[in-house]
Amino acid sequence: MQFQLPHLSRRVIIIGSLCLALIGVLGLAGTGNQGTLLWSAAHDLPIGAKIHQSDLTAIRVTFGSSERSYLKNLENISGEVAVRFIGKGELLPKAAIAHSTLPSTNRDLSLGIQLSDLPSDLAAGDLVDIYLVPRDPHAQSEKISSGLLVEKVDDRGRNLGGSINILLSLKESEVIFVTDAISLGRLVVVRHGK
């Protein structure tokens, strides 16, 4: 019995040490995989879009020091403005968001444009120009508005032919020119040149 006690004590110490080491490893693995909660876009955010809580989704991410470039979900960014297009599911970079203290003078205008009168790959975030092709065969086509932001494209119309509804952001002073042009002829949307 006297010879077995030291042998048994060593076994208890070895098994106890292994258990503690296993618990420590599991604890480290659990904390290492937690990551950081960062803001992600719940849907496409075009340039100039005012950000609301419903536009955001929190995603747990682990990729080291690069996380500092993105907005954490603890940061309240409601009311901030997107300064570049942010795609659905994209993490929100700090550089893509700016504080806006001025009320927006832009207005949203929905237009139905014939499928053949706009770029086939037009998408939210694109900048476009609008041209008027008059009904009068003796009148010349003219550019009526330039550098408008496409906020939304209703793609359901692409499969049906006909027209596609697009939502544009334009200055309040331009709204009257575009709406008046509708009665004068056909509107053609062209991607804005740089």
Tens digit of pLDDT for each residue in 153-193?
887 766 666 788 998 888 888 888 899 999 999 999 999 87
Q: Express as a percent the part of the chain with pLDDT over 70.
A: 77
Q: CA triplet 180, 183, 184: central angle to 5 degrees?
A: 90
**Residue (of 41, 119, 39, 147) closest to 85 by Cα position:** 41
Sequence-ordered strand ranges (E) for 46-174 = 56-61, 81-82, 97-98, 106-114, 127-134, 142-153, 163-171
Domain coordinates in residue numbering, the chain: 36-98, 106-191
Tens digit of pLDDT for each residue in 43-94?
888 877 888 888 888 888 876 666 677 888 877 888 888 877 888 888 888 8
Give yes or no for a contact between 48 and 42, defined as CB atoms under 8 angstroms apart: no
**Cα 167 to Cα 152: distance, rounded to the nearest angstrom:** 5
Q: Which residues are paired to 157 by β-bridges?
A: none
Predicted local distance difference test score (pLDDT) of residue 45: 84
| Residue 100 phi, psi dihedral angles, 5° rounding | -115, 120
What pairing do the DSSP bridges indicate for beta strands 163-171 and 106-114?
Answer: antiparallel
Predicted local distance difference test score (pLDDT) of residue 1: 46
**Residue (of 50, 116, 60) closest to 91 by Cα position:** 60
**Residue (of 47, 54, 56) closest to 168 by Cα position:** 47
Identify the burial level of 125 via C-beta atoms within 10 angstroms of its C-beta, where 0-12 means exposed, 13-18 middle and 19 or more buried.
buried
Fold topology of 36-98: Type Iii Antifreeze Protein Isoform Hplc 12 (3.90.1210)
Work out the mean pLDDT of the chain and round it to a whole number.
80
Range 7-46 burial, b when 16+ CB lie within 10 A, else e: eeeeeeeeeeeeeeeeeeeeeeeeeeeeebebbbbeebbb
